[in-house]
A and B are shown apart, each in its own frame.
Chain A
Amino acid sequence: MTSRPKFFDAVNAALIGIISILCILPMLLVLMVSFTDEASIKQFGYQLFPSELSLDAYKLLLFGSTPLYQSYMISIFVTVIGTILAVTITSMAGYTLAAKHIRYRNGLGLFFFITMVFNTGLVPWYLINLNLGMNNTIWALIIPSLVFNPFNLFLVRNYMSQIPPSLTEAAKIDGASDFYIAFRIFFPLCMPVLATITLFYGIAYWNNWFNAIMLVDNEKLYPLQYLLFKLNSEISMIQQMQSSGAILGSQTLPQESVKMATAILTIGPVVLFYPFLQRYFIKGLLIGSVKE
């Protein structure tokens, strides 16, 4: 009888092992192609174990005159500034919505909630942004649909509601204002949920290309993800890099591996922060989805 569970455990572990490998294997393929010699790709296609390795794609991207640096700067700027703004706006509103001494907190909650349930869609959103003059400015990548998300607001509110109101009352008696209570008492107590929404917003900013495709035509403002999107469909972008092909000392442009190398450089930061991301992401999911 004891051998059967052991057998089951082994099969189970093997199955899970295979599934988890399948989840990253396609990513590894992209990584390997980015290191593959162009002639070898032309001959054998994309390979997980390339016949001939080459650093040409990275040389071109890092030392050539490519739009990569510009886009990297845009993405970093947008992600950092956007996330700071978003987390500040969201946690401030979360405090008021959770504060039990605020009479209209439920009405305010409803005001935010309605926009979550009824979605007017793409067209009004686009027209509002044109009217605000967002198009072709860096703000188009920061403000519309990214800088505030009601889902995150309710995440913060629910977390803050658990803090006993006696704490606020005591601080009020000592003469503290709501500003002081929010920033000096509540926010430090709510670090786990604030870390979680920082992560949610950060990822949303880094991965966003929707705002760019809708509102940005100026190449100088392309965030990384949109550059990558364009790279796959517009060969001309790669041909622009041809001028810098000289640094490779060869005439053929490593077109295929350059695309894949750009993809790899785009997820670089995600991989770098992954341990942090994963930890707070799981925490956030559990705060948000499973009610006790």
Chain B
Amino acid sequence: MKKNRSGFLREIRSNGSAYLLVVPAAIYTLVFGYFTLPYMLIAFQKFNFKTGLFNSAWVGFDNFKFFFSSPRALEVTFNTLKLNFLFIMVGTLAAMALAILFNELRSRWFSRVTQSTILFPHFLSWVIVSYIVYSLLSTDYGILNRILAFFHVDPVNWYASPQYWTWILTTAAVWKDIGMNLVIYLAAITGIDDSYYEAGRIDGASRWQLIRHITIPLMLPTITILTLLALGKIMYGSFDMIYAIVKDNGLLYPTVDVIDTYVFRSLRTIGNPAQAMAVGLYQSVVGFILVWGSNKIVKKVNPDHALF
């Protein structure tokens, strides 16, 4: 023990300036990462800002009861899983198909130009995207209703019709991120050894057969890993997107309100941090189990790609 300690001191003394370099990042992670942990306890309190974490009264599981006894619990959980699942699955399949098409392109120039336009939406904020969605769907001026009118279809009041929004949001998510996935999948295809294709061609395989028996099976491992890792994070995210596009439009909650937006509203609009934290704790715990589970599966498939 003593020897170990002096080893520690000697290490710090001889490499002090290297450890100094890591201090800002470490302090940041300590404060915004580790120091946030105790605040999770307010899920069990009747928290208010005046008394704070240390002096608020404990109420056991009341905050959880409040959430889980309301029908919203099931609704927001289901919506979170549904939307994220669709974003991941539709996004992956679309990008995969597009990557295969791109790989068949002959003109490098054309490939580069089209790739940069497809990648462009990725750099837009969701607020900007919300304007785009609005310019398409606005009841008064939106272009989509004009198109429907052209085909003699009655206009739709999109912002009051929750049934369409699962797919509207999926389309927006796929549209925004397909370029990024395309880049990754194209790289996976480019990594495939040319000799497979040569062998296939010598055996007289058609282009479709080359795609079906070489390109797809060989890009699948990369895609499986990325999809599994993405599925691990299925409990989180999409706040930026959904709140920018939907805001506090209660009419659409049945299909688009997710855990993140629910927590946000409990915290900032309703102003009840303890109840918000109870839902957040539920999200963190289930979320962690899913990350852990998906990582375990990835480890089985290919240990090199596991996160931990």
Which residue among A101, A114, A121 has the maximum number of chain B CB atoms within 10 Å of its CB?
A: A121
Which one of A26, A119, A229 contacts B127 once the chains associate, using CB atoms below 8 Å?
A229
Q: Are A20 and B118 in contact (CB-based, < 8 A)?
A: yes
Consensus secondary structure, chain B interface: helix
Question: Among the listed stretches B34-42, B77-85, B250-258, which one makes contact with chain A, having 4 or more residues with CB under 8 Å of it?
Answer: B34-42
A148 and B15 in contact (CB under 8 A), knowing A27-B120, A121-B280? no
Q: Are A24 and B143 in contact (CB-based, < 8 A)?
A: no
Q: Which residues of A contact B304 (CB under 8 A)?
A: 291
Q: Are A115 and B29 in contact (CB-based, < 8 A)?
A: yes
* In the complex, per-residue mask of B258-287: 1 if CB is within 8 Å of any chain A CB, else 0: 001001100110000100110011011001
Which one of A113, A115, A117, A182 contacts B288 once the chains associate, using CB atoms below 8 Å?
A117
Q: Which residue of B lies closest to A15 (CB)?
A: B101
* In the complex, per-residue mask of A126-163: 1 if CB is within 8 Å of any chain B CB, else 0: 11101010000000000011011010010000000000
Q: Which residues of A contact B226 (CB under 8 A)?
A: 289
Q: Which residue of A lies closest to B7 (CB)?
A: A103
Q: Are B119 and A228 in contact (CB-based, < 8 A)?
A: no
CA distance A126 to B136 in the complex (A): 34
Which one of B17, B131, B267 contacts A30 once the chains associate, using CB atoms below 8 Å?
B131
Which one of B36, B102, B115 contacts A125 once the chains associate, using CB atoms below 8 Å?
B36
CA distance A24 to B25 in the complex (A): 38
In the complex, which residues 50-104 of chain A have their Cβ closer than 8 Å to any Cβ of chain B?
89-90, 92-93, 95-97, 99, 101-104
Contact-residue bracket for chain B? 35 or more
Q: Are A178 and B307 in contact (CB-based, < 8 A)?
A: no
Q: Any chain A CB within 8 A of the CB of B151?
A: no
CA distance A102 to B21 in the complex (A): 12
CB distance from A178 to the nearest CB of B (A): 4
Q: Which residues of A contact B11 (CB under 8 A)?
A: 103-104
Interface size on A, residues (CB 8 A): 99
Which residue among A102, A112, A120, A126 has the maximum number of chain B CB atoms within 10 Å of its CB?
A: A120
Q: Are B101 and A232 in contact (CB-based, < 8 A)?
A: no
In the complex, which residues 12-35 of chain A have their Cβ closer than 8 Å to any Cβ of chain B?
12-13, 15-17, 19-24, 26-27, 29-30, 33
A12 and B39 in contact (CB under 8 A), knowing A29-B143, A112-B29, A281-B119? no
Which one of B40, B101, B115, B308 contacts A124 once the chains associate, using CB atoms below 8 Å?
B40
Q: Any chain A CB within 8 A of the CB of B24?
A: yes
Q: Are B264 and A27 in contact (CB-based, < 8 A)?
A: no
Q: Any chain A CB within 8 A of the CB of B197?
A: no
Q: Are B143 and A122 in contact (CB-based, < 8 A)?
A: no
CA distance A225 to B110 in the complex (A): 33
Which one of B17, B35, B134, B143 contacts A178 once the chains associate, using CB atoms below 8 Å?
B17
Q: Which residue of A lies closest to B34 (CB)?
A: A115
Q: Any chain A CB within 8 A of the CB of B236?
A: yes
Consensus secondary structure, chain A interface: helix
CB distance from A26 to the nearest CB of B (A): 4
CA distance A203 to B123 in the complex (A): 7
Spell out A's residues near B (CB within 8 Å).
Answer: 5, 8-9, 12-13, 15-17, 19-24, 26-27, 29-30, 33, 41-42, 44-48, 89-90, 92-93, 95-97, 99, 101-104, 108, 111-115, 117-128, 130, 132, 144-145, 147-148, 150, 153, 177-179, 182, 203, 206-210, 213-214, 225-226, 228-229, 232-233, 256, 259-260, 263, 266-267, 270, 274, 277-278, 281-282, 285-286, 289-291
Spell out B's residues near A (CB within 8 Å).
Answer: 11, 15, 17-22, 24-26, 28-29, 31-40, 42, 49, 53, 98, 101-102, 104-107, 110, 113-128, 130-132, 134-136, 138, 140-143, 145-146, 175, 178-180, 183-184, 187-188, 191, 207, 222, 226, 236, 239-240, 243-244, 247, 260, 263-264, 267-268, 273, 276-277, 280-281, 283-284, 287-288, 291-292, 304-305, 307-308
